[in-house]
Homo-oligomer: A and B are copies of this chain.
Amino acid sequence: MNQIFSALSDPTRRAILTLLRQGEKSAGELAEPFHISKPSISHHLQTLKAAGLVLDDRRGQQIFYSLNTTVFQDVLSWMLEMTDRGESRQVSREEDNQ
């Protein structure tokens, strides 16, 4: 959990995740919009990957990254517990727990 929150604490990494909402993208495509070097973006991607927030898939020379939504569920649960104030909570209104 700590790894996840640490990964989410950087604005560039959150922006990368936002980009990935459009669908999978190669490391190069992810680097373009930013004014930081490609190695730096690569490093951020490793951080996100280590946290389980993204998945990677090499196809030829490119490595495609995509969101791993299951891990976001963990954070969502944590956040929901916070707003619930600790009462034993039933899976509220959205029971779409995939």
Contact = CB atoms under 8 A, between A and B. Distances in A.
Interface of A: 1-2, 5-6, 8-9, 11-12, 14-15, 17-18, 21-22, 33-36, 67, 69, 72-73, 75-76, 79-86, 91, 93-98
A18 B91 contact: yes
Copies of this protein chain in the complex? 2
B97 A85 contact: no
Contacts of A15: 94-97
B11 A9 contact: no
Contact of A97 (B17, B35, B93): B35
Contact of A11 (B2, B73, B91): B2
Contacts of A86: 21-22
